[in-house]
Structures are given as C-alpha cells and as structure tokens.
Amino acid sequence: MNRSTVTSLINYSLFQTGWFACVLGAAAGWPWTAAGAGLLLALVHLALARRPGQEVRLLAFSLTLGLAVDTFHVQTGVLVFAGGIIHPALPPGWILVLWLLVATTLHYSLSWLNNRYTFGAILGAVSGALAYWAGVRLGAATFGADLVPSLVQIGLSWAVAMPLLLLIATRTAADGKAAGYRLFTKHLNP
C-alpha cells in the first residue's frame, strides 16, 4: 500500500470519526463533549501533518467561514441546533468543529478536488445538504423551516463554501500535491 493511500485512509477515518462524535454527542445531549472529541481529532490531524502551519491557516479560514454560514442558517430560522448554544443567534461549538474537520480533508483525502471548483460546488451542495439532513435525522438539530427550502438553502450555501475552501486549500498547499502524514507512512512506498 502506498503512502498516499494510507494517508487518505487515516485522514478519512479521522474525519468520519469526528463527524459521528460531534453529531451523535450533540444528539445525546453532550454538545461540549462532542466538540471536545472532534477538536481532539483535528489536533491529531495537525500532529500528523507534514506542514501543520499550512493546515492551521486552512482550518482558521474554514472555522471563520463556518461561523458565518451557520450563523446565517440560525438567524434565518433554517436550522435550530441541539444544546451548547452560547448565544441563540450563534451555532454551537460542535458544528463549528465539523467545519474544522472538513478542512482537514482538503489537502489529504479530498485533494483530488484540487482546482475542480465546479465539481466542488456540486459536491458541496449535495453532500452539505445531505450531511445536515443526516444530522437532523440523528437528532443533533432540527429544521426550523420546511424540509425542501431548508435543504435548498443549505445546499446553496455549501455550493459557495466548498469552492472557497478549495481555493484556500490550493493557496495553502506548498506544491499542489496531496500531502502526506509524517507518521505511519515512512516505511511505505511513495
């Protein structure tokens, strides 16, 4: 197995574990534990990253974008999040950690999206809406509006957010290639 495949599998596993920890933790009424678990996985990613400085810049952008996007959804009444809301007009910490976790995939398991902004917009629209719908179905949030308008708004927001994330990922990548993790891969083929 080559280094890129192992890195992508580890990265994807960290992301998926974090997604379930955040969503199921929030649904179970443990929003701060959920956020902490997801943040721990983002920190594991940073510890494994060959270029943690680049990752931090990408994660900071994603967090800022996520705060803006999900605040918009909360303030327009499209989403009502379960527990942990510091202020009713703001999204909870666990959903913001999910934005960090999405960013952890952009130089790694989703690096194949590099410079594919149109496809990224389509993928963002569909997968973003489906991810929020799954979170609602699991009990981590509710739609404050009817299902279809809610999914359309979320899908459109992700159709804009994903290309922006991809653009920043491209600008923060040193060589435009998929990054590798430092650990667990040094004995594997390049």
pLDDT bracket for residue 87 (50, 70, 90): confident
Q: How much is the average pLDDT of 133-158?
A: 96
CA–CA distance, 142 with 21 (Å, rounded to integer): 18
CA–CA distance, 84 with 170 (Å, rounded to integer): 33
This prediction has a pTM of 0.92
Please check the confidence at residue 63 and state whether its pLDDT lies above 70. yes
Please check the confidence at residue 185 and state whether its pLDDT lies above 50. no
As a whole number of Å, the end-to-end CA separation of the chain is 9
For residues 42 and 101, the answer to whether their CB atoms sit within 8 Å is: yes
The confidence score (pLDDT) of residue 2 equals 81
**Dihedral sign of CA atoms 160, 22, 105, 64 in order:** positive
Please check the confidence at residue 100 and state whether its pLDDT lies above 90. yes
Of 133, 130, 125, 135, nearest to 158 (Cα)?
125
The confidence score (pLDDT) of residue 183 equals 65
Please check the confidence at residue 84 and state whether its pLDDT lies above 60. no
The confidence score (pLDDT) of residue 4 equals 81
Give the residue extent of every domain in the chain: 3-172
The confidence score (pLDDT) of residue 43 equals 97
Poorest-pLDDT segment among 65-69, 137-141, 171-175: 171-175
pLDDT bracket for residue 32 (50, 70, 90): very high
Within 8 A by CB and 6+ apart from 13, the residues are none
For residues 74 and 89, the answer to whether their CB atoms sit within 8 Å is: yes
